C-alpha cells in the first residue's frame, strides 16, 4: 500500500511587538565604565527594556493581535495557540492568559474570538521553548488539527543584575508565528531536522527561589535575573550545535562540509552578536575535519597559523567530551575544545571567514544589533528581520533552503531546514518588523536604573495605543476571595 503524501506545513506569517524603551550600549558603556568598541563587536548597539505596565503576557498578546490583524486571520480557525517563554510568572496558566486577552480585544472590535476548541500549551526550555512550540504546532496541524491554523508566540524578558557580565545582553519582546498547511512564507522540514539534548546542570538556570519576597508595591514588575556562567554557557552552546548538526547530517546522509558551503543563509539562536558567529565557525571547522584531503589541508592551514598540531586538533574533535563534568567551580573556565578554539582565532583572520561565516549570517543581522537577547523570540525575530532584508534585496529564491538553529540552555538544540514558499514575498510584505522597531524612547541612566530595579520612573512620555497593559495586580488573600499576585489586563484601543 502506497503511503499517504506528506503534507507541507510551515509558516505563513510573522508579527512582532517590541517595547519602546531603549538603552544605547554606547551610553551604557559611559554609565558603567565599559569599553564601547569591545561591546559593539561582541554584543551589539542597543537593547530594549520592558515597561512598568508590561509583562511577558502583555507582549505576547500584543504580537498575537498584530499577527491576526496583519494577515487577516479568521480567529475561529485557530485551533492551537502555543506560548514559548522562559519568563512566565504563573506556574499554572500560560498561553490561556494570552488567549483571554486577545479574545477580549477581538470582542471589543466586534470580531469573533479564537476558537473555544483551541489548545493552549506553554513550552518551556530556556531559549528553545518557541522552537519546541513551533514543532508542536506542526505536529498538531499534521494530525488532529488538520485544516486549521496555529499560532505560536515567543515572548521573553531577558534581564540580568546590574554590574554582571550579562547586563549588556538584555532585551525584551515577542514574535508570533502563523502556521498552516501549504504555507505562504516557508515550509518547515521536521523530517530533515536534527536534535540534541544533554543535562548540563548550571550553565544558565532560573530556580524559583529567586522570586521569593519580591516587592511589587511600586511597579508591576517581577525581576527574573538568571543564575548563569558565561564561558561555560558558550561551551554548551557550541557542543549542542555540533551534536544537532551531526544528527541532521546522518538523517539526510549529507557530506557536512559540502552542505555547509552550499547554504547561503543561516539563522541561529542569538543571545548576542558573537555567539552565532562562534557556533557556526566551529561547526565549519569540524566539517573540514570530516572532509577530503583538500578540506583537511584548509583546516591544517588554520592550525599552523595558530601554532597547533593539526592531528591533535582532529583527535580532539573526535573525542566527544562530557561537558557536564566541567560544571564545577574549577571547570567553569575550562574549554571542552581548547585546541579548536585556538584554531578558531586564526580562522577569524582568514579570507574564508567572511565568505563561509559572516556572509551566511548577514541577512537581518544589522537589525538584530538593536534588539539585545530576546531568549525564545531571538530566532524568530532574526527570521522576521532577515526575510524583510531579503525582500528588499531580492536575495532569496522560491524553494531555496534556509537553515535555522535554535538552542536552549540546560541544554538542547534543534537544527531545522526551511524552504522558501512560493508566496514568501507577499507574506513578508505583511511582517512589519521594521515598523515594530520604529518607535523608541531612549532612556537616561536614571530611568534605566529605575525600570531595571522595579521602581517608579519619572519622565516616560509614552501613552499605550492598540496594545495590552497590566491594569493592576491582585493583593487579596482572604478566605472568601484570593487573587494575590494575579495580573489583571486592559486593552488600550
The pLDDT value given to residue 211: 64
Residue 97 has pLDDT above 80, yes or no: yes
Q: What is the mean pLDDT of residues 5-27?
A: 94
Q: What one-character DSSP code corresponds to residue 92? A: S
All residues at 6 or more sequence positions from 177 whose CB lies less than 8 Å from its CB, including other chains? 11, 13, 14, 67, 134, 137, 151, 152, 153, 154, 380
Q: Using a cut of 0.85, tell me whether the model's pTM lies above it.
A: yes
Q: 356 vs 240, 332, 350, CA distance in Å?
A: 20, 30, 10
Q: Which three cell numbers stand for residue 124?
A: 518551556
Does the pLDDT value for residue 1 go beyond 50? no
| Per-residue pLDDT at 125 | 95
Q: Where are the domains of the chain?
A: 9-196+420-492, 228-403
Q: Among 133-142, 327-336, 462-471, where is mean pLDDT lowest?
A: 327-336
Mean pLDDT computed over 217-241:
82
| The predicted structure's pLDDT at residue 4 | 47
For 459, the grid coordinates are 519622565
Cell numbers that stand for 485 in this block: 499576585
Please give the average per-residue pLDDT across 313-320, as a whole number: 95
pLDDT beyond 70 at 216 = no
Highest mean pLDDT among 99-113, 314-328, 447-461: 99-113
Strands of 392-473, DSSP E: 401-408, 412-420, 441-442, 467-473
Q: Name the CATH superfamily for 9-196+420-492.
A: Thiolase/Chalcone synthase (3.40.47.10)
Looking at residue 180, what DSSP letter applies?
E
Give the integer Cα–Cα distance in Å for 125 and 128: 5
Beta strands in 193-278 (DSSP E): 194-197, 204-205, 227-228, 266-268
Beta strands in 345-486 (DSSP E): 401-408, 412-420, 441-442, 467-473
Instruction: Give the number of residues written for the chain.
Output: 493
The CB density around residue 288, as the number of other CB atoms within 10 Å, is 28
- Map residue 171 onto helix, strand or coil: strand
Per residue in 177-195, pLDDT (tens digit) is: 999 999 999 999 999 999 9
Q: What pLDDT, on the 0 to 100 scale, is given for residue 3?
A: 41
Give Dmax (Cα) for the chain: 77
Place of cell 597547533: 308
Rounded percentage of the chain residues whose pLDDT exceeds 90: 84
| 126 Ramachandran zone, left/alpha/beta (phi>0; psi -120 to 50) | left
Q: Find the range with the poorest average confidence among 85-89, 289-293, 397-401.
A: 85-89
Q: Are 149 and 179 in contact (CB under 8 A)?
A: yes
8 Å CB contact between 178 and 242: no
Mean pLDDT (the chain, rounded): 94
pLDDT bin (cut points 50, 70, 90) of residue 210 is low
Residue 349 has pLDDT above 70, yes or no: yes
Q: How confident is the model at residue 206 (pLDDT cuts 50, 70, 90)?
A: confident
CA 9, CA 188: separation in Å to the nearest integer?
6
* Structure confidence by residue, pLDDT tens digits, 418-474: 999 999 999 999 999 999 999 999 999 999 999 999 888 988 888 999 999 999 999
Amino acid at each position: 500500500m502506497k503511503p499517504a503524501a506528506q503534507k507541507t506545513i510551515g509558516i505563513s506569517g510573522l508579527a512582532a511587538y517590541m517595547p519602546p524603551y531603549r538603552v544605547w550600549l554606547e551610553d551604557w558603556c559611559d554609565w558603567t565604565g565599559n569599553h564601547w568598541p569591545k561591546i559593539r563587536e561582541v554584543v551589539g548597539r542597543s537593547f530594549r527594556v520592558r515597561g512598568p505596565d508590561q509583562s511577558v503576557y502583555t507582549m505576547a498578546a500584543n504580537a498575537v493581535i498584530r499577527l491576526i490583524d496583519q494577515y487577516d486571520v479568521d480567529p475561529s480557525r485557530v485551533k492551537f495557540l502555543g506560548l514559548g517563554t522562559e519568563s512566565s510568572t504563573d506556574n499554572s496558566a500560560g498561553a490561556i492568559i494570552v488567549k483571554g486577552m486577545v479574545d477580549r480585544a477581538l470582542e471589543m472590535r466586534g470580531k469573533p474570538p479564537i476558537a473555544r476548541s483551541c489548545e493552549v500549551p506553554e513550552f518551556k526550555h530556556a531559549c528553545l521553548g518557541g522552537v519546541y512550540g513551533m514543532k508542536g504546532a506542526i505536529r498538531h496541524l499534521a494530525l488532529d488539527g488538520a485544516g486549521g491554523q496555529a499560532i505560536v508566540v515567543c515572548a521573553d524578558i531577558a534581564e540580568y543584575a546590574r554590574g554582571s557580565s550579562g547586563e549588556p545582553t538584555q532585551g525584551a519582546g515577542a514574535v508570533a508565528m502563523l502556521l498552516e498547511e501549504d504555507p505562504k512564507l516557508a515550509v518547515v522540514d521536521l523530517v530533515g531536522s536534527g536534535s540534541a539534548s544533554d543535562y548540563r546542570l548550571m550553565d544558565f538556570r532560573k530556580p524559583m527561589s529567586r522570586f521569593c519576597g519580591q516587592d511589587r508595591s511600586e511597579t508591576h514588575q517581577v525581576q527574573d535575573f538568571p543564575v548563569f556562567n558565561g564561558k561555560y554557557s558558550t561551551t554548551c552552546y557550541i557542543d549542542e550545535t555540533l551534536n544537532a548538526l551531526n544528527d541532521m547530517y546522518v538523517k539526510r546522509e549529507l557530506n557536512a562540509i559540502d552542505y555547509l558551503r552550499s547554504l547561503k543563509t543561516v539563522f541561529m539562536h542569538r543571545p548576542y552578536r558573537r555567539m552565532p558567529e562562534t557556533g557556526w565557525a566551529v561547526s565549519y571547522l569540524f566539517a573540514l575535519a570530516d572532509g577530503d584531503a583538500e578540506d583537511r589541508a584548509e583546516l591544517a592551514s588554520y592550525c599552523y597559523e595558530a601554532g597547533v598540531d593539526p592531528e591533535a586538533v582532529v583527535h580532539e574533535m573526535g573525542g566527544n567530551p562530557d561537558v557536564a563534568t566541567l560544571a564545577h567551580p574549577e571547570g567553569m573556565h575550562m574549554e571542552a575544545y581548547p585546541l579548536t578554539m585556538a584554531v578558531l582565532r586564526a580562522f577569524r583572520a582568514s579570507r574564508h571567514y567572511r565568505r563561509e561565516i559572516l556572509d551566511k549570517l548577514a541577512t537581518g543581522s544589522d537589525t538584530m544589533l538593536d534588539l539585545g537577547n530576546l531568549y525564545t523570540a531571538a530566532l524568530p525575530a532574526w527570521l522576521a528581520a532577515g526575510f524583510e532584508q531579503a525582500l528588499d534585496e531580492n536575495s532569496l529564491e522560491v524553494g531555496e533552503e534556509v537553515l535555522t538553529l535554535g538552542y536552549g540552555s540546560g541544554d538542547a538544540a534543534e537544527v531545522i531546514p526551511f524552504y522558501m514558499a512560493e508566496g514568501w514575498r507577499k507574506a513578508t510584505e505583511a511582517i512589519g518588523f521594521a515598523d515594530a522597531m520604529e518607535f523608541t524612547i531612549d532612556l537616561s541612566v536614571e530611568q534605566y536604573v529605575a525600570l531595571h530595579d522595579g521602581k517608579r520612573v519619572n519622565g516616560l512620555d509614552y501613552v499605550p495605543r492598540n496594545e495590552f497593559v497590566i491594569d493592576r495586580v491582585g493583593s487579596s488573600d482572604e478566605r472568601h476571595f484570593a487573587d494575590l499576585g494575579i495580573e489583571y489586563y486592559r486593552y488600550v484601543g
